[in-house]
Chain A
Amino acid sequence: MLYREAGDFKTSYHADNQTFPIKFDRIGFWITMVIAFLVIPFMINDYWANAIFVPFLIYAIAAIGLNILTGYCGQVSLGTGGFMAVGAYACYKLMTAFPDVSIVIHIILAGGITAAVGAAFGLPSLRIKGFYLAVATLAAQFFLVWLFNKVSWFYNYSASGQINAPERFVAGVAVTGPNTDPWAQYMICLVFLTVCALIARNLTRGTIGRSWMAIRDMDIAAEIIGVNPLKAKLTAFAVSSFFIGISGALFFAVYLGAVEVGEAFGIQKSFLVLFMIIIGGLGSIFGCFAGAAFLVLLPVALKVIGVDVLGWPTDLVSHLNLVIVGALIMFFLIKEPHGLAQLWRLAKEKLRLWPFPY
């Protein structure tokens, strides 16, 4: 009833190709955008920004990055944490070396540097596949963390090996450093996420996205029909790392403000982002958002319900969180390999027919 296509006519190719072909979806999208840009910034406080919104937005960017590589191009990567570290340390070095340049440019450049590093580590993907590639990216993860711990130049020779984000401004408003308002933190992440999601969506439905998907589905067949695997795989690594680098830079500069590489960008970060795209849905932009929201919200929700409402011990709730995430991953891998995005797709199918299913 609510969700229908009847009367929604497309009269041009352009209209037929749009991201949200159903009117109800378009309205929903614009309402979401209005709430995200015009309502939340006025209501947000420190807790909501730091516990929920900022991590969600940043992880969504990382999930988009990994989803391009794994979900669209079929190259399994366990190096997400390491690539986020590249973004964070590149951003830190740029911020401290060129304090007069805008932080926005630094974050984009950090993404560019990560793209170059990612493409370099993507070279072995031309020869090795599947599990073997996963192991190669795992090596990248450990190498990068080791590098940022070992070489003091990366952390400006500070005694503790920590990097701290100095205060930086966008249009006169502090976006990094301790005096940042929660709305400013939220807005810069939101703007980056919106732009990244738009770019990702349009890349994945164009020529380059189709060549990635061809490689994913069957690389030999793709090669025979004229897809260049070198170009497809390396662009997937570069674009994916670009997004992951941006998320790493935001994670360090805007969200945490001080970072220690082994702790913040360890192997568990790679797995966390991988779980996000598995639960959210491989090969779907919406899935990145759903997965990131799910894994950011779940521990917070469990904590609020378990500790604050039910009064359970904190360690019990924390262990329960691990159990639930593990069980959910198994559930999704068995029951719904395409994740939350597929559930949403099925729900839409059902809603279109409701209340008269055949």
Chain B
Amino acid sequence: MKMKTLAAMALAGTLAAGPALAELVIPDLSYRTGPYAAGGTPFSDGYQDYFALLNARDGGIGGEAVRIVECETGYNTEKGVECYEATKGEGALIYQPLSTGITYQLIPKATADEIPIHTMGYGRTSAANGEVFNWVFNYPANYWDAASVAVNYLLDENGGSLDGKTIALVYHNSAYGKEPIRTLEVLSEMHGFELSQLAVDHPGQEQKSQWLQIRRERPDYVLMWGWGVMNQVAVQEAANIGFPMENFIGNWWAGAEHDVTPAGMAADGYKSLNMNRVVDYPVLADIQSMVHDAGNAAGDGSNLGSVLYVRGMYAAMLAAEAIAKAQEIHGVSAVTPAMVRDGMEALEITAARMSELGMEGIGPEFSVSCQNHGGSGQGLVQQWNAADGVWVPLTDFIQPDDSVTDPLVAEDSMAFASESNITPGCL
């Protein structure tokens, strides 16, 4: 017995230390525990299930099987670093940490190790400038796009003018929540609305004072940059003070089923942004039949088709497409992280390709270039229908105001470049 355990450990040791095998290793830094698990679990399920589908249906990507290495971070940066170090030795091709804090940790490390990071709709916004952040990609959209999309939507609602309106921003008091402030400040000057900022500390269970302030100030709209348990509490508090739900807009990390269901019917009409449309895609049926029914579901299988599950699947699709692109560019099927980076930089997602993959209209059409790692930046607005328990897309993809975000991206990325002695340029 003891010998067997020792042998198993020795085997695990050699496997961990051995050379990269001929397969595509994709680490999944997930979090299925802690205050953010409600969001981390469906995303990770979707991310893993899509690769499992590729393995089951197509035999991997370009004939190479995909191996997922899951590592639990608990949304904690120290564990994130440990997970990164533990998985990079196995030949990790692309990282998707799903945490802005961990992303900030990994940007310098992964750049030094030459492994690409894809931070889809989170992370460091100015990474959209690919000349400074060669190894970091945040397509199809980032936080500053989100702020601009939300304001554009409100402009549309108000006949093109927000003059004299007040907008309150309820944000998670962390790097994640602070990201949109600068853009919203610029937008508030431009469009003449007043911005009030209300910070909510981690993990966000205590928001009484913030909502009391909203009740007193009666802003016209409330925007929210929330994540995890904070969203549920905020929706409940908004209902408690009788804030009109249709004037309460969350960003795309504050718009999943589990955020609104605890408030029941009171959450009806709550809006949020989304970067991926959620409808019943044909690919979900494939996942059901080839992955879940075969007993290979990543989690308990209950999240199939939910907002964050679809987003995880979308992230996996973008990674798989980038790997396929890399295989096409370099003409080899066993790609290296550097080749995957080239594939990401040459990535082009068209409507035809999305319908071919069984997810028609899941995201905007966009293409990536060395200068622009950020994609098109488009997002849509969806609304919660509590009676039927579904998110209803209200708009098509809305274009952000690039004249606002582009100078901010340039300014912030150049500051980073001079701080870190980077000469901007393409690889």
Contacts and interface: CB of A to CB of B under 8 A. Distances in A.
A257 B178 CA distance: 20
B101 A260 contact: yes
Given A50-B82, A166-B420, A258 B174 contact: no
A315 B30 CA distance: 9
B396 interface: no
A248 to B, nearest CB: 14
B86 A51 contact: yes
Contact of B108 (A159, A160, A255, A257): A257
Given A159-B412, A304-B12, A260 B175 contact: yes
The 7 closest A-B pairs by CB, nearest first: A178-B108, A315-B32, A314-B72, A160-B175, A178-B112, A51-B82, A47-B85
18 contacts: A50-B81, A51-B82, A159-B178, A160-B175, A160-B178, A161-B178, A164-B104, A164-B108, A166-B419, A256-B78, A257-B105, A258-B104, A263-B76, A304-B12, A305-B9, A309-B9, A315-B41, A317-B72
B82 A262 contact: no
A179 B174 contact: no
A258 B108 contact: yes
B124 A314 contact: no
- How big is chain B's contact interface, by range? 35 or more
A320 B412 CA distance: 42
B105 A256 contact: yes
A319 B77 contact: no
Contacts of A50: 81-82, 85
A318 B83 CA distance: 13
Given A161-B174, A178-B108, A256-B78, A315 B12 contact: no
B179 interface: yes
Interface in A221-266: 255-260, 262-264, 266
Contact of B33 (A166, A258, A260, A315): A315
A159 B33 CA distance: 29
B330 interface: no
Contacts of B420: 166-167
B218 interface: no
Contacts of B112: 178-179
Contact of A266 (B71, B100, B202): B202
B100 to A, nearest CB: 8
A318 B179 CA distance: 30
* Residue of A159, A178, A264 contacting most chain B CB atoms (<10 Å): A159
Contact of B202 (A160, A262, A305): A262
B394 interface: no
A162 interface: yes
A295 B89 CA distance: 24
Given A46-B85, A300-B82, A308-B16, A318 B74 contact: yes
Interface string B97-133: 0001100110111011000000000001100000000
A149 interface: yes
A259 B111 CA distance: 18
Nearest to A55: B78
A164 to B, nearest CB: 7
A122 interface: no
A50 B12 CA distance: 20
Nearest to A152: B178
A287 interface: no
Interface string A249-290: 000000111111011101000000000000000000000000
A177 interface: yes
Contacts of A257: 105, 108-109
Contact of A262 (B71, B107, B174): B174
Interface string B66-81: 0000111010111101
A47 B41 CA distance: 26
B215 interface: no
A303 B70 CA distance: 11
B329 interface: no
Contacts of B16: 308
A137 to B, nearest CB: 19
A66 B111 CA distance: 36
Contacts of A263: 76-77, 101, 174, 202
B33 A318 contact: yes
A161 B124 CA distance: 12
B328 to A, nearest CB: 31
B373 to A, nearest CB: 18
Contacts of B201: 149, 262
A264 B174 CA distance: 11
A340 to B, nearest CB: 22
Interface in B356-406: none
Contacts of A166: 419-420
Contacts of A264: 77-78
Given A46-B88, A256-B77, 20 more contacts: A149-B173, A149-B201, A160-B175, A160-B178, A161-B174, A162-B175, A178-B111, A179-B112, A256-B105, A257-B108, A257-B109, A259-B77, A264-B77, A305-B9, A307-B70, A308-B16, A309-B8, A314-B32, A314-B71, A315-B37
B105 A258 contact: yes
Interface in B39-71: 41, 70-71
A46 B85 CA distance: 7
Contact of B85 (A51, A162, A314, A318): A51
